[in-house]
Protein backbone atom coordinates (compact mmCIF):
# COMPACT_ATOMS: atom_id res chain seq x y z
CA UNK A 1 0.00 0.00 0.00
CA UNK A 2 2.24 2.78 1.23
CA UNK A 3 5.49 3.33 -0.62
CA UNK A 4 7.83 3.67 2.35
CA UNK A 5 10.70 5.05 0.26
CA UNK A 6 8.58 7.84 -1.05
CA UNK A 7 5.65 8.24 1.32
CA UNK A 8 4.35 11.39 -0.32
CA UNK A 9 3.58 9.56 -3.56
CA UNK A 10 1.89 6.31 -2.49
CA UNK A 11 -0.74 6.36 -5.20
CA UNK A 12 0.97 8.28 -7.94
CA UNK A 13 -1.25 11.28 -7.27
CA UNK A 14 1.56 13.80 -7.37
CA UNK A 15 2.65 12.39 -10.69
CA UNK A 16 -0.87 12.54 -12.12
CA UNK A 17 -1.66 14.86 -15.00
CA UNK A 18 -2.50 18.44 -14.20
CA UNK A 19 -6.06 19.36 -15.10
CA UNK A 20 -5.42 22.78 -16.65
CA UNK A 21 -7.47 23.52 -19.75
CA UNK A 22 -11.10 23.80 -20.79
CA UNK A 23 -13.39 21.01 -19.54
CA UNK A 24 -16.17 21.09 -22.06
CA UNK A 25 -19.39 19.29 -22.92
CA UNK A 26 -20.48 19.23 -19.27
CA UNK A 27 -23.97 19.02 -17.82
CA UNK A 28 -24.20 21.18 -14.66
CA UNK A 29 -25.55 19.43 -11.56
CA UNK A 30 -28.56 21.56 -10.57
CA UNK A 31 -27.93 23.80 -7.58
CA UNK A 32 -24.25 22.93 -7.31
CA UNK A 33 -22.85 25.40 -9.84
CA UNK A 34 -22.41 29.13 -9.45
CA UNK A 35 -21.61 30.03 -13.05
CA UNK A 36 -19.97 33.29 -14.13
CA UNK A 37 -22.53 33.40 -16.95
CA UNK A 38 -25.78 31.44 -16.46
CA UNK A 39 -25.97 28.20 -18.44
CA UNK A 40 -29.24 27.92 -20.41
CA UNK A 41 -31.13 24.66 -19.78
CA UNK A 42 -29.84 21.88 -22.02
CA UNK A 43 -26.79 23.82 -23.25
CA UNK A 44 -23.31 22.33 -22.83
CA UNK A 45 -21.29 24.01 -20.10
CA UNK A 46 -17.59 24.29 -19.43
CA UNK A 47 -15.16 24.85 -16.60
CA UNK A 48 -11.81 26.49 -17.25
CA UNK A 49 -8.97 25.27 -15.03
CA UNK A 50 -5.83 27.36 -14.75
CA UNK A 51 -3.01 26.65 -12.34
CA UNK A 52 -5.21 24.25 -10.44
CA UNK A 53 -8.02 26.77 -9.90
CA UNK A 54 -11.40 27.03 -11.56
CA UNK A 55 -10.99 30.27 -13.52
CA UNK A 56 -14.27 30.50 -15.43
CA UNK A 57 -17.56 28.58 -15.32
CA UNK A 58 -20.35 29.01 -17.85
CA UNK A 59 -21.92 28.05 -21.17
CA UNK A 60 -19.50 26.68 -23.74
CA UNK A 61 -20.95 29.03 -26.34
CA UNK A 62 -19.78 32.01 -24.30
CA UNK A 63 -16.28 30.88 -23.42
CA UNK A 64 -14.23 34.11 -23.30
CA UNK A 65 -11.73 34.53 -26.15
CA UNK A 66 -8.79 34.54 -23.74
CA UNK A 67 -9.41 30.86 -22.93
CA UNK A 68 -10.07 29.63 -26.47
CA UNK A 69 -6.53 28.41 -27.11
CA UNK A 70 -6.25 26.30 -23.92
CA UNK A 71 -6.10 22.50 -24.19
CA UNK A 72 -9.53 20.82 -24.30
CA UNK A 73 -10.93 17.96 -22.21
CA UNK A 74 -14.15 16.54 -23.67
CA UNK A 75 -16.49 15.34 -20.88
CA UNK A 76 -18.90 13.79 -23.41
CA UNK A 77 -22.03 15.15 -21.71
CA UNK A 78 -21.13 13.96 -18.21
CA UNK A 79 -22.92 15.40 -15.19
CA UNK A 80 -20.49 17.65 -13.30
CA UNK A 81 -20.72 17.93 -9.53
CA UNK A 82 -18.31 19.53 -7.10
CA UNK A 83 -15.82 17.16 -5.48
CA UNK A 84 -17.62 15.26 -2.74
CA UNK A 85 -17.05 16.14 0.91
CA UNK A 86 -17.28 13.49 3.65
CA UNK A 87 -17.72 15.73 6.69
CA UNK A 88 -17.80 13.18 9.55
CA UNK A 89 -15.44 10.21 9.73
CA UNK A 90 -13.44 8.29 12.28
CA UNK A 91 -11.20 6.90 9.55
CA UNK A 92 -8.02 6.28 11.56
CA UNK A 93 -8.18 3.40 14.07
CA UNK A 94 -6.66 0.02 14.77
CA UNK A 95 -8.42 -3.28 14.16
CA UNK A 96 -12.09 -3.81 13.35
CA UNK A 97 -15.20 -4.88 15.28
CA UNK A 98 -17.02 -7.47 13.20
CA UNK A 99 -17.63 -9.45 16.41
CA UNK A 100 -19.95 -6.70 17.62
CA UNK A 101 -21.93 -6.97 14.43
CA UNK A 102 -22.63 -10.56 15.42
CA UNK A 103 -23.51 -9.53 19.00
CA UNK A 104 -25.98 -6.99 17.72
CA UNK A 105 -27.51 -9.57 15.38
CA UNK A 106 -27.99 -11.74 18.44
CA UNK A 107 -29.95 -8.90 20.05
CA UNK A 108 -27.44 -6.76 21.97
CA UNK A 109 -27.90 -2.98 21.76
CA UNK A 110 -25.08 -0.47 21.14
CA UNK A 111 -25.22 0.52 24.79
CA UNK A 112 -25.09 -3.12 25.96
CA UNK A 113 -22.11 -3.82 23.70
CA UNK A 114 -20.35 -0.77 25.18
CA UNK A 115 -21.11 -1.87 28.73
CA UNK A 116 -19.74 -5.36 27.96
CA UNK A 117 -16.31 -3.87 27.23
CA UNK A 118 -16.83 -3.70 23.49
CA UNK A 119 -17.63 -0.55 21.66
CA UNK A 120 -15.33 2.41 21.44
CA UNK A 121 -13.00 1.13 24.17
CA UNK A 122 -12.14 -2.00 22.20
CA UNK A 123 -11.02 0.17 19.28
CA UNK A 124 -9.04 2.24 21.77
CA UNK A 125 -7.03 -0.85 22.76
CA UNK A 126 -6.28 -1.72 19.13
CA UNK A 127 -5.39 1.88 18.30
CA UNK A 128 -3.05 2.27 21.26
CA UNK A 129 -0.95 -0.76 20.33
CA UNK A 130 -0.64 0.25 16.68
CA UNK A 131 2.26 2.35 15.42
CA UNK A 132 1.71 5.47 13.37
CA UNK A 133 2.77 3.64 10.20
CA UNK A 134 0.42 0.75 10.96
CA UNK A 135 -2.48 3.15 11.45
CA UNK A 136 -1.57 4.86 8.18
CA UNK A 137 -1.50 1.57 6.30
CA UNK A 138 -4.85 0.49 7.75
CA UNK A 139 -6.56 3.80 7.03
CA UNK A 140 -5.15 4.29 3.52
CA UNK A 141 -7.38 1.75 1.70
CA UNK A 142 -10.43 3.13 3.49
CA UNK A 143 -9.56 6.62 2.33
CA UNK A 144 -8.92 5.32 -1.19
CA UNK A 145 -12.36 3.71 -1.26
CA UNK A 146 -13.96 7.06 -0.43
CA UNK A 147 -11.78 8.86 -2.96
CA UNK A 148 -12.68 6.41 -5.73
CA UNK A 149 -16.20 7.81 -5.56
CA UNK A 150 -15.05 11.40 -5.89
CA UNK A 151 -14.39 12.48 -2.30
CA UNK A 152 -12.05 15.49 -2.44
CA UNK A 153 -12.30 16.61 1.20
CA UNK A 154 -12.71 14.50 4.29
CA UNK A 155 -12.93 15.12 8.00
CA UNK A 156 -11.00 12.71 10.21
CA UNK A 157 -11.57 12.59 13.96
CA UNK A 158 -9.34 11.32 16.71
CA UNK A 159 -11.06 9.69 19.68
CA UNK A 160 -9.66 6.16 19.66
CA UNK A 161 -6.46 7.13 21.48
CA UNK A 162 -7.90 8.86 24.56
CA UNK A 163 -4.39 9.69 25.80
CA UNK A 164 -2.17 12.46 24.52
CA UNK A 165 0.36 10.32 22.65
CA UNK A 166 -2.29 8.15 21.02
CA UNK A 167 -4.60 10.99 20.03
CA UNK A 168 -1.53 12.70 18.56
CA UNK A 169 -0.74 9.55 16.59
CA UNK A 170 -4.22 9.48 15.09
CA UNK A 171 -4.19 13.16 14.15
CA UNK A 172 -0.70 12.95 12.67
CA UNK A 173 -1.84 10.02 10.52
CA UNK A 174 -4.84 12.07 9.38
CA UNK A 175 -2.55 14.91 8.28
CA UNK A 176 -0.17 12.48 6.55
CA UNK A 177 -3.05 10.88 4.66
CA UNK A 178 -4.05 14.26 3.28
CA UNK A 179 -0.55 15.00 2.08
CA UNK A 180 0.06 11.54 0.68
CA UNK A 181 -3.17 11.25 -1.26
CA UNK A 182 -3.65 14.85 -2.36
CA UNK A 183 -6.99 15.18 -0.62
CA UNK A 184 -8.16 17.94 1.73
CA UNK A 185 -8.24 16.61 5.30
CA UNK A 186 -9.78 18.49 8.22
CA UNK A 187 -8.77 17.08 11.59
CA UNK A 188 -11.13 17.02 14.55
CA UNK A 189 -9.96 16.36 18.10
CA UNK A 190 -12.47 14.02 19.76
CA UNK A 191 -10.60 13.34 23.01
CA UNK A 192 -14.00 13.35 24.75
CA UNK A 193 -15.30 10.35 22.81
CA UNK A 194 -15.36 7.83 25.67
CA UNK A 195 -13.90 7.50 29.13
CA UNK A 196 -10.62 5.58 28.88
CA UNK A 197 -10.54 2.50 31.16
CA UNK A 198 -7.79 3.96 33.38
CA UNK A 199 -10.13 6.85 34.24
CA UNK A 200 -13.14 4.67 35.14
CA UNK A 201 -15.22 6.52 37.73
CA UNK A 202 -13.08 9.66 37.28
CA UNK A 203 -14.83 11.39 34.46
CA UNK A 204 -14.07 14.91 35.69
CA UNK A 205 -10.37 14.17 35.94
CA UNK A 206 -10.35 12.93 32.35
CA UNK A 207 -12.25 15.97 31.06
CA UNK A 208 -9.72 18.17 32.86
CA UNK A 209 -6.93 16.29 31.10
CA UNK A 210 -8.65 16.76 27.73
CA UNK A 211 -9.13 20.49 28.32
CA UNK A 212 -5.93 21.43 30.10
CA UNK A 213 -3.33 19.14 28.55
CA UNK A 214 -4.39 17.22 25.48
CA UNK A 215 -6.20 19.93 23.55
CA UNK A 216 -3.67 22.74 24.16
CA UNK A 217 -0.74 20.47 23.26
CA UNK A 218 -2.30 19.10 20.07
CA UNK A 219 -3.53 22.54 19.02
CA UNK A 220 -0.03 23.94 19.48
CA UNK A 221 1.22 21.22 17.14
CA UNK A 222 -1.25 22.37 14.48
CA UNK A 223 -3.15 19.10 14.60
CA UNK A 224 -6.62 20.40 15.50
CA UNK A 225 -8.97 22.08 13.01
CA UNK A 226 -12.08 21.51 15.16
CA UNK A 227 -13.11 20.02 18.50
CA UNK A 228 -15.89 17.47 18.97
CA UNK A 229 -17.49 15.70 21.95
CA UNK A 230 -19.73 12.63 22.21
CA UNK A 231 -22.51 14.07 24.40
CA UNK A 232 -24.61 11.09 25.46
CA UNK A 233 -25.70 9.00 28.43
CA UNK A 234 -22.93 6.49 27.68
CA UNK A 235 -20.33 9.20 27.08
CA UNK A 236 -20.10 12.81 28.36
CA UNK A 237 -22.65 15.04 30.09
CA UNK A 238 -23.83 18.43 28.99
CA UNK A 239 -21.68 20.12 31.66
CA UNK A 240 -18.59 18.18 30.55
CA UNK A 241 -19.33 19.05 26.93
CA UNK A 242 -19.58 22.69 27.87
CA UNK A 243 -16.19 22.51 29.60
CA UNK A 244 -14.55 21.11 26.46
CA UNK A 245 -16.22 23.75 24.31
CA UNK A 246 -14.89 26.49 26.59
CA UNK A 247 -11.38 25.14 26.23
CA UNK A 248 -11.78 25.12 22.43
CA UNK A 249 -13.20 28.62 22.44
CA UNK A 250 -10.24 29.87 24.46
CA UNK A 251 -7.96 28.57 21.71
CA UNK A 252 -10.18 29.98 18.93
CA UNK A 253 -10.97 26.51 17.56
CA UNK A 254 -14.48 25.82 16.18
CA UNK A 255 -16.60 23.10 17.73
CA UNK A 256 -19.04 20.42 16.56
CA UNK A 257 -20.97 17.78 18.45
CA UNK A 258 -22.16 14.17 18.40
CA UNK A 259 -25.59 15.25 19.60
CA UNK A 260 -28.88 13.59 20.48
CA UNK A 261 -28.02 10.24 18.86
CA UNK A 262 -29.56 7.98 21.49
CA UNK A 263 -31.44 10.51 23.63
CA UNK A 264 -32.24 14.22 23.82
CA UNK A 265 -29.47 15.61 25.99
CA UNK A 266 -29.93 19.23 24.89
CA UNK A 267 -26.50 19.07 23.29
CA UNK A 268 -27.46 20.69 20.01
CA UNK A 269 -28.73 23.86 21.69
CA UNK A 270 -25.56 24.02 23.76
CA UNK A 271 -23.35 23.52 20.70
CA UNK A 272 -25.27 26.19 18.81
CA UNK A 273 -24.57 28.63 21.65
CA UNK A 274 -20.88 28.04 20.94
CA UNK A 275 -21.47 28.72 17.24
CA UNK A 276 -20.88 25.06 16.36
CA UNK A 277 -20.06 24.22 12.76
CA UNK A 278 -22.34 21.19 12.96
CA UNK A 279 -24.42 18.91 15.16
CA UNK A 280 -24.23 15.33 14.00
CA UNK A 281 -26.55 12.26 14.30
CA UNK A 282 -29.44 14.26 15.91
CA UNK A 283 -32.03 11.47 15.76
CA UNK A 284 -33.55 12.81 19.00
CA UNK A 285 -33.14 16.53 18.22
CA UNK A 286 -35.82 18.74 19.80
CA UNK A 287 -37.63 21.78 18.43
CA UNK A 288 -35.47 23.97 20.69
CA UNK A 289 -32.36 22.39 19.26
CA UNK A 290 -33.54 23.04 15.71
CA UNK A 291 -34.30 26.70 16.48
CA UNK A 292 -30.90 27.18 18.13
CA UNK A 293 -29.11 25.56 15.18
CA UNK A 294 -30.97 27.74 12.72
CA UNK A 295 -30.09 30.89 14.66
CA UNK A 296 -26.41 29.91 14.85
CA UNK A 297 -26.07 28.72 11.24
CA UNK A 298 -25.12 25.26 12.50
CA UNK A 299 -25.28 22.45 9.92
CA UNK A 300 -27.28 19.28 10.71
CA UNK A 301 -25.13 16.29 9.74
CA UNK A 302 -27.21 13.19 9.00
CA UNK A 303 -25.54 9.82 9.39
CA UNK A 304 -27.77 7.15 7.87
CA UNK A 305 -25.01 4.51 8.02
CA UNK A 306 -25.05 4.54 11.83
CA UNK A 307 -28.86 4.67 11.89
CA UNK A 308 -28.96 1.62 9.61
CA UNK A 309 -26.20 -0.36 11.32
CA UNK A 310 -27.76 0.14 14.76
CA UNK A 311 -31.16 -0.72 13.30
CA UNK A 312 -32.38 2.51 14.83
CA UNK A 313 -36.03 3.35 14.32
CA UNK A 314 -36.11 6.89 15.69
CA UNK A 315 -35.83 9.10 12.62
CA UNK A 316 -34.10 12.48 12.77
CA UNK A 317 -36.65 15.32 12.43
CA UNK A 318 -36.05 15.90 8.72
CA UNK A 319 -39.32 17.68 7.95
CA UNK A 320 -38.79 20.10 10.83
CA UNK A 321 -35.17 20.77 9.84
CA UNK A 322 -36.30 21.39 6.28
CA UNK A 323 -39.12 23.69 7.40
CA UNK A 324 -36.73 25.65 9.62
CA UNK A 325 -34.19 25.99 6.81
CA UNK A 326 -31.34 24.29 8.68
CA UNK A 327 -28.76 23.11 6.11
CA UNK A 328 -28.50 19.31 6.09
CA UNK A 329 -25.30 17.43 5.28
CA UNK A 330 -24.92 13.67 4.78
CA UNK A 331 -21.82 11.73 5.75
CA UNK A 332 -20.52 8.19 6.16
CA UNK A 333 -19.61 8.51 9.88
CA UNK A 334 -17.10 5.86 8.88
CA UNK A 335 -16.10 4.08 12.11
CA UNK A 336 -15.48 0.47 13.12
CA UNK A 337 -18.45 0.21 15.48
CA UNK A 338 -21.57 1.79 14.18
CA UNK A 339 -20.92 2.65 10.55
CA UNK A 340 -18.25 0.68 8.70
CA UNK A 341 -19.35 2.49 5.54
CA UNK A 342 -16.97 3.28 2.73
CA UNK A 343 -19.36 4.73 0.17
CA UNK A 344 -20.72 8.25 0.35
CA UNK A 345 -23.06 7.46 -2.56
CA UNK A 346 -24.58 4.60 -0.57
CA UNK A 347 -25.19 7.12 2.23
CA UNK A 348 -26.98 9.33 -0.30
CA UNK A 349 -29.22 6.43 -1.20
CA UNK A 350 -29.91 5.73 2.48
CA UNK A 351 -30.53 9.42 3.25
CA UNK A 352 -33.17 9.42 0.51
CA UNK A 353 -34.70 6.03 1.27
CA UNK A 354 -34.52 6.00 5.07
CA UNK A 355 -34.68 9.73 5.86
CA UNK A 356 -36.75 10.87 2.86
CA UNK A 357 -34.33 13.51 1.65
CA UNK A 358 -34.92 14.60 -1.92
CA UNK A 359 -32.14 13.88 -4.41
CA UNK A 360 -31.11 17.56 -4.63
CA UNK A 361 -31.05 17.76 -0.82
CA UNK A 362 -28.90 14.66 -0.55
CA UNK A 363 -26.46 15.87 -3.23
CA UNK A 364 -26.17 19.28 -1.55
CA UNK A 365 -25.64 17.26 1.63
CA UNK A 366 -22.44 15.64 0.33
CA UNK A 367 -21.13 18.83 -1.29
CA UNK A 368 -22.21 22.36 -0.35
CA UNK A 369 -23.57 21.72 3.14
CA UNK A 370 -20.86 19.19 3.98
CA UNK A 371 -18.24 21.80 3.09
CA UNK A 372 -20.03 24.22 5.40
CA UNK A 373 -19.94 21.67 8.23
CA UNK A 374 -16.14 21.77 7.96
CA UNK A 375 -15.77 25.53 7.55
CA UNK A 376 -14.68 24.88 3.94
CA UNK A 377 -17.59 26.71 2.31
CA UNK A 378 -15.33 29.19 0.51
CA UNK A 379 -13.14 26.58 -1.17
CA UNK A 380 -15.18 23.36 -1.51
CA UNK A 381 -18.67 22.13 -2.23
CA UNK A 382 -19.56 24.22 -5.29
CA UNK A 383 -18.40 24.50 -8.88
CA UNK A 384 -17.52 28.18 -9.10
CA UNK A 385 -14.59 30.23 -10.30
CA UNK A 386 -11.91 31.27 -7.85
CA UNK A 387 -11.87 27.90 -6.08
CA UNK A 388 -9.42 24.99 -6.28
CA UNK A 389 -10.38 22.59 -9.07
CA UNK A 390 -12.20 19.75 -7.30
CA UNK A 391 -14.96 18.22 -9.40
CA UNK A 392 -16.37 14.91 -10.57
CA UNK A 393 -17.76 14.05 -14.00
CA UNK A 394 -20.36 11.29 -13.85
CA UNK A 395 -21.48 9.30 -16.90
CA UNK A 396 -25.14 9.33 -15.90
CA UNK A 397 -28.32 10.39 -17.64
CA UNK A 398 -29.62 12.35 -14.67
CA UNK A 399 -28.56 13.40 -11.17
CA UNK A 400 -31.00 10.96 -9.53
CA UNK A 401 -28.77 8.09 -10.72
CA UNK A 402 -26.24 9.12 -8.09
CA UNK A 403 -28.80 8.24 -5.43
CA UNK A 404 -30.58 5.39 -7.19
CA UNK A 405 -27.91 2.72 -7.75
CA UNK A 406 -26.92 0.54 -4.81
CA UNK A 407 -23.24 -0.30 -4.82
CA UNK A 408 -22.35 1.20 -8.17
CA UNK A 409 -18.71 1.67 -9.05
CA UNK A 410 -19.12 4.76 -11.17
CA UNK A 411 -16.75 5.16 -14.10
CA UNK A 412 -16.23 8.82 -13.26
CA UNK A 413 -13.51 11.32 -13.99
CA UNK A 414 -12.18 12.97 -10.85
CA UNK A 415 -10.29 16.26 -10.78
CA UNK A 416 -8.84 16.70 -7.33
CA UNK A 417 -6.66 19.59 -6.20
CA UNK A 418 -6.18 20.62 -9.82
CA UNK A 419 -5.01 17.21 -11.03
CA UNK A 420 -6.73 14.42 -12.96
CA UNK A 421 -6.90 11.90 -10.14
CA UNK A 422 -8.99 9.46 -12.18
CA UNK A 423 -9.94 9.46 -15.85
CA UNK A 424 -13.08 7.78 -17.14
CA UNK A 425 -12.27 4.87 -19.41
CA UNK A 426 -12.66 5.53 -23.14
CA UNK A 427 -16.03 4.35 -24.45
O1 LIG B 1 -20.21 8.44 15.42
N2 LIG B 1 -21.34 8.05 18.39
C3 LIG B 1 -20.16 7.96 18.72
N4 LIG B 1 -19.14 7.69 17.97
C5 LIG B 1 -19.20 6.90 16.80
C6 LIG B 1 -19.19 5.46 17.15
C7 LIG B 1 -17.86 5.05 17.48
C8 LIG B 1 -17.71 3.60 17.77
O9 LIG B 1 -18.64 2.86 18.13
O10 LIG B 1 -16.54 3.20 17.66
C11 LIG B 1 -20.32 7.33 15.90
O12 LIG B 1 -21.30 6.62 15.67
FE1 LIG C 1 -19.24 9.76 14.66
Ligand 2 center–CA 67 separation, angstroms: 44
> Which pLDDT score, from 0 to 100, does residue 4 have?
38
88 annotated to bind ligand:
yes
Most ligand 1 atoms within 8 A of CB, residue of 112, 161, 192, 193 to mutate: 193
For residue 292, give the 3-state DSSP assignment: helix
Ligand 1 center–CA 371 separation, angstroms: 21
258 annotated to bind ligand:
yes
* Rounded distance between C-alpha atoms, residue 254 and residue 251, angstroms: 9
**Overall residue count recorded for the chain in this entry:** 427
Ligand 1 center–CA 235 separation, angstroms: 10
Ligand 1 center–CA 300 separation, angstroms: 17
57: which strand partners?
A: 47
> Which pLDDT score, from 0 to 100, does residue 15 have?
64
- Residue 190 alpha carbon, nearest atom of ligand 1: 4
CA-based nearest residue to 245, from 197, 207, 300: 207
Query: Which-ligand-closest: CA of 234?
Result: 1
Q: Which residues of the chain have pLDDT under 70?
A: 1-15, 427
What angle do helix axes 164-181 and 132-148 make, rounded to 10 degrees? 40
> Which pLDDT score, from 0 to 100, does residue 2 have?
37
422 CB-near residues (< 8 Å, 6+ apart): 148, 412, 413, 414
Are residues 417 and 389 in contact, defined by beta-carbon separation less than 8 angstroms? yes
> Which pLDDT score, from 0 to 100, does residue 219 have?
98
* Rounded distance between C-alpha atoms, residue 118 and residue 356, angstroms: 32
- Please compute Rg for the chain using Cα positions: 21
Most ligand 1 atoms within 8 A of CB, residue of 338, 341, 347, 373 to mutate: 338
> Which pLDDT score, from 0 to 100, does residue 425 have?
85
Ligand 2 center–CA 258 separation, angstroms: 6
299: which strand partners?
A: 278
> Which pLDDT score, from 0 to 100, does residue 9 have?
45
* Rounded distance between C-alpha atoms, residue 183 and residue 339, angstroms: 22
335 annotated to bind ligand:
yes
- Residue 337 alpha carbon, nearest atom of ligand 1: 9
337 annotated to bind ligand:
yes
For ligand 1, atom 3, which residue shows the shortest CA distance?
230
What angle do helix axes 164-181 and 120-129 make, rounded to 10 degrees? 80
Ligand 2 center–CA 405 separation, angstroms: 25
Give the global pTM.
0.96
90 annotated to bind ligand:
yes
Count CB neighbours of 309 within 10 A.
20
Using a 6 Å CB cutoff, which residues line ligand 1? 90, 119-120, 123, 230, 258, 261, 306, 333, 335-339
For ligand 1, atom 12, which residue shows the shortest CA distance?
338
Beta strands in 260-385 (DSSP E): 278-281, 299-302, 328-330, 383-384
| Residue 108 backbone phi and psi in degrees, to 5 | -70, 145
Ligand 1 center–CA 194 separation, angstroms: 9
Query: Which-ligand-closest: CA of 339?
Result: 1
> Which pLDDT score, from 0 to 100, does residue 3 have?
35
Amino acid sequence: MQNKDNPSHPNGWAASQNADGVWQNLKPAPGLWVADVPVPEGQPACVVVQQGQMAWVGPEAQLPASYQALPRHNARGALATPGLVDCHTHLVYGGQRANEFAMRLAGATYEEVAKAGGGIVSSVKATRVATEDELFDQAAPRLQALMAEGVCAVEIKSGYGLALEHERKQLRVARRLGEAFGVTVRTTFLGAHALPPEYAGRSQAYVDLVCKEMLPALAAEGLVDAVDVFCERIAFTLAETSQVFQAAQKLGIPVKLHAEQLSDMGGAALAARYGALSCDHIEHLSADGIAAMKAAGTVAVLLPGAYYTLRDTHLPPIAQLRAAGVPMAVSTDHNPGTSPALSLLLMVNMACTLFRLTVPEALAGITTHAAHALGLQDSHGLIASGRPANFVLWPVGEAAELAYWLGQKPDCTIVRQGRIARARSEA
